[in-house]
Amino acid sequence: MKARYSKEIDRLYLQMYPMLFEYARSSLSNDALAEEAVQDTFIIACQKPEALCNSPNPEGWLVNTLKNVLSNTIRSQNIARRILLDYFASNISDISVSTDRVGLEILYDDVADLEEFRLVKAIALDGKSYLELAEERGISVKTCHKRVERAKKFLQKKIRL
């Protein structure tokens, strides 16, 4: 990246980060998710430095990019939430007729690897962020992302059947 782009992004980061955080926080109602959204916005800025720095309004460019990030985040959350709720709804009879003393863990052990399933549930239903889950479990955010994606694909396939 050219030095002048790097300098401009540094300047915008210092100036805009707290403001963009407030924008993201208002939509996501979760500090960790809001921080992730703003960081994703600056990752995009670093990937497209010319677009940002040559924009007549770089601050506005960042806000618009953040809007897209927020809309993708909310869409992903809604999809994951719907998948889980659909899955629970379609399997509710299994739970109600079950007289065994088996726990949910055994009941759903074919859904996905249990830890992965818990991660999806924590994100979709409890509104936790990847960062929070990674810290809780002592794994990297990337690993957390991978596990959730794997479980989501598994669940989607399962529901389509």
Partner 1 sequence: MPDNQHCKDEKFAMNDAMSTEELQQLLREDASKPVGEESDTDSLFYIMEVLAKRRKE
Interface with partner 1 (CB under 8 A): 18-23, 25-27, 57, 59-60, 63, 67, 70-71
Q: Is 137 helix (H, G, I), strand (E, B) or coil?
A: helix
The answer to whether the CB of 119 falls within 8 A of the CB of 136 is no
Cα separation, 161 vs 156, whole angstroms = 9
Element (H, E) at 21: helix 3-28
What would the two tokens of residue 115 be? 């830890």
Extract the tokens encoding 108.
């759903």
Which of 34/123 has CB closer to partner 1?
34
Pick 23 or 130: Cβ nearer partner 1? 23
Q: What is the smallest separation between the CB atom of 91 and partner 1, expressed in angstroms?
A: 33
Least separation, in Å, of the C-beta of 35 and partner 1? 13
* Rounded least distance, CB 2 to partner 1, Å: 26
CB of 11 to partner 1, least distance (A): 15
Q: Of 8 and 59, which has the nearer Cβ to partner 1?
A: 59
Q: 37 vs 1, 7, 67, 68, 159, CA distance in Å?
A: 22, 22, 9, 10, 29
Instruction: Give the residue with the Cβ less far from partner 1, 39 or 91.
Output: 39
